[in-house]
Amino acid sequence: MADLHDLTALEQAGAIRRRELSSAELVEHYLARIEAHGDTVGAFVTVTADLARTQAKAADEAPDEGRPALHGVPTAIKDLTMTAGVRTTFGSAAFVDFVPPLDNDVVALLRAAGTVSLGKTTTSELGVSLYSEGKVAPPARNPWGLDYTAGGSSGGAAAAVAAGLVPFAQGSDGGGSVRIPAALCGLVGFKPSRGVVSGGPLGFGAFGLPTPGPIARTVADAAAMLDAMAVPMPGEPYLAPPPPEGGYLAAARRTGPRLRVGRFTTPMLAGDQPVDPACAGAVDIAAAALAAAGHEVVEVASPLGPEVWPLFEIIWYVLALAPVPPEQESELLPLTRLMRERGAAVTVPQLMTTLSALQVQVRRGMRATAGYDLLLCPTLAAPQARVGSFTESGDPALDFDMQRRFSPYCAVFNVTGQPSVSLPVTQAGGMPVGVLLTGRPGADGTLLAAAAELESSVGWGDRHPEIWRATPSATVNGV
């Protein structure tokens, strides 16, 4: 007998479609697990139990004809993502009572795809850090080891999926914020190509760095969520590349072409940062699996180097200048205040010069790796980090530099706009270790096919932390 949360999101959708399972049953099962374990792993800021029950009832009463692909399947929305009528704090005590009047496009699209949101997942304050430890919720903890962070800024989303509190969850990634938590928690985190998923209806595109993306247990579930989110919307600042034939899930399920893969382990944003042997070893495992599947794997130089960091950090400081009511500034965390102070000191000519110099670096890196279909590298320079380890010095400048050294790979691919996915391939000390696969701009389908093939080859399978089997539980009809 399998627990309901053993089923993947796609398996749940199939069971609902065949009326072997109801959305209401799934929602109650997950709400019970959230009640039991949500605070333990710091997954949720706000749980919308009554709203979820109402939506699940409506889903179960809907006629079979015309049901969308993910009809009735539970999910959760990152607390950085506006949701109409639902408290959205942006991870900050400065917005503890804020209720948006409108949805981000991605929220409306996931609802249109049939999913039922159970609430808002924990995030870092204004999305500025790679850990999720703020004032509005318990810290997001790794379900594999509660002393360790679940990452950020989509830390609560990853904690929820890894602990079996939702089958998949919406995240967003402006410098690794989907892929970092996925790597830490043994999940698949996919950052789409620039323009694939709308960031609207508000904002200017944030220089093309951030994008919504899925966090899931399997590549197929991530692709299915991407299909739901990847609907072109009018007025977006970046043109959406053409989707693969049949959509992203179909691409993930196809046998893709044999590819040329460039592998490297040199940290790009911190050249003097040593790479943990477990992270380098994970690249070896992935490279061997790809080569055994017939792909050509070649050692290459990293596409960009530490010279990109001074440019990226200026952009990151400016992006921290999200509007905050002046009377609430004192509620912000020390790191957020530091970044906003530095952002406010950036002049318009300095910003324009930085954007120009950054684009020069992008052209150089993209031309150097143009002969490769995929790039393979570690997701992180170390497998895990303890809760509180970045802030324990009390120095926000040191905190920020420690984050750069811990994650010197992911942010480069936000700058280039390439699709990039972290997926688990091994363990170290009982904790997951992931690798980063990155594709050509717009070739998200090719990347998903390769990731699914690698996922199958390394046999990560249904590995789960101990909390996965903790009560309460229920069973599927004879499954």
| pLDDT tens digits for range 277-288 | 999 999 999 999
pLDDT band of 181, cuts 50, 70, 90: very high
Residue 259 CA to residue 269 CA, distance in Å, equals 27
pTM of the model as a whole: 0.97
CA 199 from centroid of its chain's CA atoms: 14
Distances (CA, A) of 101 to 48, 84, 198: 16, 5, 18
Residue 188: closest CA among 441, 396, 424, 357: 424
Domain spanning 4-469: CATH 3.90.1300.10 = yes
| pLDDT tens digits for range 387-432 | 999 999 999 999 999 999 999 999 999 999 999 999 999 999 999 9
Residue 141 CA to residue 217 CA, distance in Å, equals 17
pLDDT band of 2, cuts 50, 70, 90: confident
| pLDDT tens digits for range 218-232 | 999 999 999 999 999
Residue 455 CA to residue 426 CA, distance in Å, equals 11
Give me the catalytic one of 129, 153, 302, 422.
Answer: 153
Give me the catalytic one of 23, 117, 154, 177.
Answer: 177
Give me the catalytic one of 78, 92, 129, 132.
Answer: 78
pLDDT band of 178, cuts 50, 70, 90: very high
Q: Where are the alpha helices (DSSP H) in 42-154?
A: 49-61, 105-112
Whole-number average pLDDT of the chain: 96
Which pLDDT value is given to residue 462?
A: 84
Annotation marks residue 422 as catalytic: no
Residue 132 CA to residue 150 CA, distance in Å, equals 7
CB atoms closer than 10 angstroms to residue 208: 17
Annotation marks residue 120 as catalytic: no
One-letter identity of residue 348: V
Which pLDDT value is given to residue 478?
A: 36
Which pLDDT value is given to residue 351?
A: 98
Which pLDDT value is given to residue 477?
A: 44
The 3-state secondary structure of 421-447, one letter per residue: EEEEEEEECCEEEEEEEEECCCCHHHH
First to last CA, the chain: 5
Residue 1 has pLDDT above 60, yes or no: no
Which pLDDT value is given to residue 479?
A: 39
Q: Which residues contact 427 (CB under 8 A, 6 or more apart)?
A: 433, 463
Residue 74 CA to residue 196 CA, distance in Å, equals 23
Residue 180 CA to residue 174 CA, distance in Å, equals 11
Residue 83 has pLDDT above 80, yes or no: yes
Annotation marks residue 153 as catalytic: yes
Give domain limits for the chain.
4-469
Which pLDDT value is given to residue 135?
A: 97
pLDDT band of 233, cuts 50, 70, 90: very high
Question: Average pLDDT of 182-190?
Answer: 98
pLDDT band of 271, cuts 50, 70, 90: confident
